[in-house]
Chain A
């Protein structure tokens, strides 16, 4: 039957695609939109597409913000994807300042359109290679077995700026802007990119998460 994964459905994520990817690697995926069900999870995934403030409001409306904080204290595996990773941080500068879940210290800011002598297109849409941040060893992380430089699929206009370097597992160079691509602090992990849309590379990352 495989491992059971709970995917949070708060109306802001591509839950169908995420569920299909987990099922492809042999897990059973079910959707949850109540705090009670979140707390029953062995593996929890927070997907997310769209704006930070809107996403946080949707979580709060359902009482999921407190449930996610409580779940994270259990030490059970928790994966945030894209916006789902960004809301793990303290706050976002998208449309003013919006508080996040505050599970990790740091903020979320816009990808600068200008910088390092270059002009960038925003949103950053497409496949970019990921590399170890601060020479971090990927063994034992969600990126175990991924070859540095392998490409994954990004779609985002904002990026996480963690206060502590130790949680940064991977980064990606978008036209000279170093984007935090993956984070991990114990059982709490996150991908700025979409593993469910990153072909076999992404499926391997999902499998790694299930092995945590």
Chain B
């Protein structure tokens, strides 16, 4: 098994990190820079910053946040929310983002995925899918879980890969913020068919939930509420997974920050 990544997810609104339940009722959690540094020090393997309102208002507060974070945080940073063009992406990459996550703009104009992959390489392009369970399968949502698309989440994931995505950030709107565990069925359905890495997101409450997602073929797990509220540290999750025989990042005796 390749090394599984534990990713700290920061949902951003304006200058703050926020978190809700099922993408609603957003509450302020803290300062993005402080949290990013904190999770880096706890041993997070990556940071994902998603602007929760950028699609809605067509603006982007992420530039400043990313610019500050890269001075202190020496792990990959993925940035998403409101990215509509190759130029938007180039600006964020220039500041120090490593990967670009797209959802709304990619649903509206799927060629954007290919354009980004051609310009920066597939490894740079994360397609974010916000999936809601339906009587049959899952539907992909945009605009931070507000707008439905009519797209089947599984088919959209496959299409995104064909168009040049390098990774799928798969969020379950139903499980998000509940602490009840990832949507395992969704994770497995997408990850089994994908030839690119899949990040499970939404629902992590205990380290065991991460293990379940990994056993369902997730290549990485995103964590948010649980670490924001101090229920689990990234280091606890890592220790739990290691004890369960999962291959995780090794840093020997080196201090983390």
A interface vs B, CB < 8 Å?
14-17, 20-21, 24, 49-51, 113, 121-129, 147, 149-151, 153, 155-157, 174-175, 194, 196-204
Contact = CB atoms under 8 A, between A and B. Distances in A.
Contacts of B205: none
Contact of B98 (A14, A175, A203): A14
B122 interface: yes
A157 B164 CA distance: 13
Instruction: Report whether over half of chain A's contact residues are helix, strand or loop; otherwise say mixed.
Output: mixed
Interface of B: 2-5, 40, 45, 67, 70-71, 74-76, 93-96, 98, 119-124, 166-167, 194-197, 219-220, 248-257
Contacts of B248: 127
Contacts of A174: 2
B5 A127 contact: yes
Nearest to A200: B254
| A122, A127, A200 interface centre (most CB from chain B within 10 Å) | A127
A14 B121 CA distance: 13
Contacts of B76: 153, 155, 194, 197
A156 B252 CA distance: 24
| 9 nearest A-B residue pairs (beta carbon) | A127-B249, A147-B252, A16-B96, A151-B249, A123-B123, A50-B121, A155-B123, A151-B250, A127-B3
A173 B188 CA distance: 25
Contacts of B71: 20, 24
16 contacts: A14-B98, A17-B74, A20-B71, A49-B123, A121-B194, A121-B219, A122-B195, A126-B2, A127-B248, A128-B2, A153-B45, A175-B2, A197-B76, A200-B74, A201-B252, A202-B74
Contacts of A149: 250, 252
Contacts of B96: 14, 16-17, 20
Contacts of A16: 67, 70, 94-96
A20 B70 contact: yes
Given A17-B98, A20-B70, 8 more contacts: A24-B74, A49-B123, A123-B122, A126-B45, A126-B197, A197-B75, A199-B40, A201-B252
B74 A125 contact: no
A48 to B, nearest CB: 10
B34 to A, nearest CB: 18
Contacts of B220: 126
Contacts of A125: 123, 166-167, 197, 219
A129 B248 CA distance: 9
B165 to A, nearest CB: 10
B192 to A, nearest CB: 11
B155 to A, nearest CB: 19
Contacts of B122: 123, 157
